[in-house]
Structure 1
């Protein structure tokens, strides 16, 4: 990695291009520079892995490693560990407010809670908190990377220890021995975290490196082919062999499962410790004794990590790995589906469940994740689990929370839960989605800490989320809108929203309409029977398309000859059907439709009879034409867009979100809406047909202003 020259190469650039403070332990620079260097080291492996359909075990560290911005680390630690210790101090009758205590510690990212009712403000566990000792407070990062979160937690622990009367030297030893824990599957990340913690402790205690103290951070081991038979001469009973086999089996794929390993059965750790440390009989060195010694070394690692994964911690804080279920290999995918069915869609959500289970009752857990879990139907079961806890604070970041990730696809949120149900608790939410850079988001958050009257800070009871179908974390929904969800008629009681056809290979079955012979296209079939009678091969296909309201996006045709015979019989080499023919009874019917993907406002269109809708052209159907046109009027308003963004502000509006839309019935408004919507549909239809890309195009509108005696010259054939 480094060249030997201090005048050229990496070392020279580190010396000349990087600020001295970035290396200064006193100002937190050490972990920053280590983290960024490690992320840079992973850039090429990550780029290679992203091109693969499935990630190999060796790809996981690179593709899931993302260095957490410093301010977000401070937000998570101060609002979890810091908040817990403020609870302790107040339980011990410290008269100061949480804001005053945080300011005294210098925790500028701590967000004071909203004013609560008298019943809520009384701590249900005040007695245990009043007896809390800082030496007993523990924090774990279950995917620690290079240790950024752990290092800042060390600093906060040090502040608390010093306020409790400990010397810095003694505090450094206790923090490393008792308070901080971390795990990762990446050996290099573990080594960097280990090094960072040792150097941090050395900064507070010059003799630390001579004290033979090992930080509680580990590279999650893998048992490989080990079984109890490899320890046969050290076992004393069949029960010990069964327990050992169970433990080894849990760590069989430790490099893939990492902190997700859950030990469902109790393990006699004293027995495992005895076996892993038992000295072998003295005698001649043999191959079997060497192998057994190596197996004992591996078992000691498994024992150390197993003990951590079997306990709970006061605080959990982490930036979890991100990986959709489609990218997981079969080993990891099966494990996640079996043990984490509520969150299996993405690894970050799985770790939300896992960190929750690693956190003590009444403790806090803080994370930064993608925000999809807040809204998508695939995470509704996870939201149902999380509602048993109390969402204390959330900084909803949106896009561009990480400087190195551009674009509008990756949207993030960071939050703190208390692992306890507090009825009627008023949580605090900072909506930072409209600030377009990492720096601006940080500045806006700090402004909200100082002034809670800013218009992007919200206070709400999380019980309101359950009043909205799908239970989205819609903290910015007004009381009136929540009431509308309670009393309104659900959209799925008025129309049928259906997902459409998935060909399995669009390049094979789809064409732009003018790419094929018009004589082979049936533009006017209104049901499956007519499509067969037409004996045509191609039929209009509603594939969603670009942003457009009211009417349009008639671009594609699909091969549906003989009632879709080719598509229905399009199979994989193993004989399994590759295409998915959904809801064919709705094909060719009139509908209102919207595109699956949108990065801006949602736009809906009227679709005339005659098309087959695919899975990108989401559609809703009714035999009542006026109802469809009236609903189109409601949904294409700013209010409709606002409600859809509450139900699902991601770039994909799902059928389930559409079904949940509340409709308040009012005959006068419905009649007026229908008349306006009907005219807008007609105007946009005329606009669409003025372009040659429309199959109903006749002539350009400018030609209507040309005198009849000149019209023939404009239409004369070329050549």
Structure 2
């Protein structure tokens, strides 16, 4: 699948649809300045005076009603503080809804789920869509007036007008099958038809470009790539979803550089990444699939190419696993509950559907029975993004149709439990203050009031909301019963009619967020704490203090909590949680209470970006001495390779490790260092931490380097002190990291430390570790992309946060420096902190052993320092330069 044309189409389609919606609103006198009321208004015609002699007319009862629905909907925008922002958000929503509908119809026509093609023709070279060429050849039912309209348009050769008429007719018909994506255009709340202009003839139009620029094979569920893997549905919908967000995402990250935080409306654009198909299959097969297979060993899992067999276990561990599997053996397919709480466009849900279908069929169910049960009992999905929810809903419904060819013809088509999380803001306080005893039970009134409070600003938090497990099913029944009992009270009836759907949704999402699951599988949103707006940041600090540094790790904690005891959580995430200090508490909790079943560690490149990834499966029960199965798919930390290359390494069975997670606890900081051996772990038991031998400290942050730092040759040499504190001097040597260089060098910067740093102290500078200033030390560059490079700093300089330093005593400084510059030290650092940023805290944890030949090591290290010093001083960039060695 070529992604470039998909991206180009999605980006341009968004622009075009937004422009069309804006233009249509202006035609009806709706702008950020307000609404122009109709000059003439009847039930069948509206006339608007738009000024400068311009008028606009809406004819027909259906379209007049739609306009009135539209005006009623947008009127509330002008009572807010930011009507322009509200209108822009509305335009965005209408545009993406029509985009999703067009993609849905394209998908359905290509796969012959529609009787007649709506946007294109099956006949190669025929430009006219099949439905336009033969309007009565499908199963659409027309009134006599509609037939008359069709004939008139045909006679007048108005092909685009006929296309629009038939397109909306098809959309209206699809509202019966897919009510959460297609609306009843004659419904009492409908208006979106007024806001879209479509043409199959216009080369710049969305329909034309969709049909002609995006290969229809990519929509076909039967299409496979060169390796025999299907590329239809999941792939095309996922990439359409992600690429549509390209410009909003770029803007969010540009704003972050200006310190503009990510707003609630922009969270989806900023955080969603499409998961490669093989990663999805790995996660589902090793969570839901593993749970079922372990209880039903005769189940045929031959199609599961990404299933990782159990690592070899000790007899006592194997017995525990045997007992667990005996419990799984009692499960029936209807009992399984699985969820993706950050479902995006539904990629993971679709494969969960596939595996559930395999389970049902293996248990003797028909496809028709299985489809209904999966939708009603097994599969759940949530997201904060309405656009994502529309796509996910559609994807799941298409899965149902794929397995049950008669699905769309059923009288009562089951709807999947897949939703965008709704907020209760607009209902805030209304029930408490106005509805009295509408619910006849105080317990149910309390529950409803709790939901009205709990889901305020819910789109800010999404699935990380912590919802109490109350009697929601009882509330649902009481809500419907009370409505019938108060049917004679007009005020109650009006309020119930306005709130019934919203309350039903709150109840449903409360059920989904409070119940426990056999498997939770997701690709979480990625957003660091630095990018969060205050409301979200405070919520996370309060409720998720162990994982607060990134939204993705917050979801890691949340999804484990969503699992049943002895359930599975599978996730792809950035691997920072495995190593860095910020997540040590998370690791402690995980290693004490759960078991890491297996992991696929692809490294960088999975999302086409430069940050690392790891996919893993957690079992919600701690099994002492459990051996996990790990796959390391990269050779060198920091290498960036495509998802396809990483997948190939998976199939080549590269980098297989088995690790007892109890061993992780023996390493300081509890890193998930699955690739190290027993001898390595023993070094931490027999060695002494470097930080116990000498201080390892981070230096100062000036807060304004342009003001306080200079290159040494930029300052008056009479004001420059070479490492001695002198009253008349202003500039002093300053270790600031720098490029890769071992033993000695990178002596380039000086800092204004006049009068013991008086000017620094009166600024926002952080004079960290001041007691160690001007002492001989070992320094290094915090960023170590080229490898570790530790250097002697004997000029008694000050040091920076990026030039962290260790302070051994005089007798051991060369010995410590030599150890720090070894391959072994580099290897150990790669375990304690496998990032490109080596902080003082992680360096301090490194074990140091005493060797018998210290004097010899000291001499070699001293000689290396002198060689490096001579090399450094051989160039004019050194303040000790005398002459070039070749002169």
Q: Give yes or no for TM over 0.5.
A: yes
1:36 is matched with which residue? Answer: 239
2:267 is matched with which residue? Answer: 60
Alpha-carbon distance in 1 for matches of 2:494, 2:879: 79
| In the alignment, structure 1 residue 687 sits paired with structure 2 residue 871 | yes
1:512 is matched with which residue? Answer: 711
Alpha-carbon distance in 1 for matches of 2:598, 2:212: 41
- Match runs of 1:94-243 below 5 Å: 94=298, 101-103=300-302, 106-122=303-319, 123-209=322-408, 210=410, 211-225=412-426, 226-227=428-429, 228-236=432-440, 240-243=444-447
- Match runs of 1:393-412 below 5 Å: 393-402=598-607, 404-405=608-609, 407=610, 410-412=611-613
**Partner SS state of residue 850, structure 2:** coil
Deviates more, 1:511-520 or 1:5-14: 5-14
| In the alignment, structure 1 residue 551 sits paired with structure 2 residue 744 | yes
**Partner SS state of residue 392, structure 1:** strand
Alpha-carbon distance in 2 for matches of 1:171, 1:699: 84
1:569 is matched with which residue? Answer: 762
**Partner SS state of residue 371, structure 2:** helix
| Shift of residue 537, structure 1, vs aligned partner | 2.2
**Partner SS state of residue 38, structure 1:** helix
| In the alignment, structure 1 residue 628 sits paired with structure 2 residue 813 | yes
| In the alignment, structure 1 residue 4 sits paired with structure 2 residue 199 | yes
Given that 1:146 and 1:193 are in contact with CA atoms closer than 8 Å, whether structure 2 keeps it comes out as: yes
| In the alignment, structure 1 residue 583 sits paired with structure 2 residue 788 | no
Given that 2:472 and 2:511 are in contact with CA atoms closer than 8 Å, whether structure 1 keeps it comes out as: no
**Partner SS state of residue 870, structure 2:** helix
2:617 is matched with which residue? Answer: 416
Specify which of 502, 507, 518 is matched with residue 303 of structure 1.
507
Specify which of 673, 680, 686 is matched with residue 481 of structure 1.
680
| Shift of residue 269, structure 1, vs aligned partner | 4.5
- Match runs of 1:69-468 below 5 Å: 69-90=276-297, 94=298, 101-103=300-302, 106-122=303-319, 123-209=322-408, 210=410, 211-225=412-426, 226-227=428-429, 228-236=432-440, 240-264=444-468, 266-267=470-471, 269-271=473-475, 273-275=477-479, 278-279=482-483, 281-282=486-487, 290-387=494-591, 388-402=593-607, 404-405=608-609, 407=610, 410-434=611-635, 436-448=641-653, 454=654, 456-468=655-667
- Match runs of 1:604-619 below 5 Å: 604-619=790-805
| Shift of residue 364, structure 1, vs aligned partner | 1.0
Given that 1:613 and 1:619 are in contact with CA atoms closer than 8 Å, whether structure 2 keeps it comes out as: yes
Computing the radius of gyration from Cα coordinates, the structure with the larger value is: 2
| Shift of residue 598, structure 1, vs aligned partner | 2.1
Alpha-carbon distance in 2 for matches of 1:498, 1:309: 44
1:711 is matched with which residue? Answer: none
Given that 1:626 and 1:674 are in contact with CA atoms closer than 8 Å, whether structure 2 keeps it comes out as: no
Alpha-carbon distance in 2 for matches of 1:536, 1:136: 78
Alpha-carbon distance in 2 for matches of 1:220, 1:236: 27
Unaligned runs of 5+ in 1: 449-453, 571-577, 704-719
| Shift of residue 322, structure 1, vs aligned partner | 0.7
Given that 1:184 and 1:190 are in contact with CA atoms closer than 8 Å, whether structure 2 keeps it comes out as: yes
Alpha-carbon distance in 2 for matches of 1:345, 1:351: 11
| Shift of residue 673, structure 1, vs aligned partner | 2.0
| Shift of residue 600, structure 1, vs aligned partner | 2.8
Number of aligned positions between the proteins: 667
What are the Cα deviations for residues 382-408 of structure 1, in whole angstroms up to 9, with x where unaligned?
A: 111111211111111111112x32x4x
* Compared CA separation, residues 193 and 555, structure 1 to 2 (3 A): same
| In the alignment, structure 1 residue 50 sits paired with structure 2 residue 253 | yes
Unaligned runs of 5+ in 2: 1-12, 18-197, 223-229
2:845 is matched with which residue? Answer: 660
Given that 2:780 and 2:789 are in contact with CA atoms closer than 8 Å, whether structure 1 keeps it comes out as: yes
Specify which of 651, 659, 670 is matched with residue 471 of structure 1.
670
2:95 is matched with which residue? Answer: none
| In the alignment, structure 1 residue 25 sits paired with structure 2 residue 230 | no
| Shift of residue 51, structure 1, vs aligned partner | 1.9
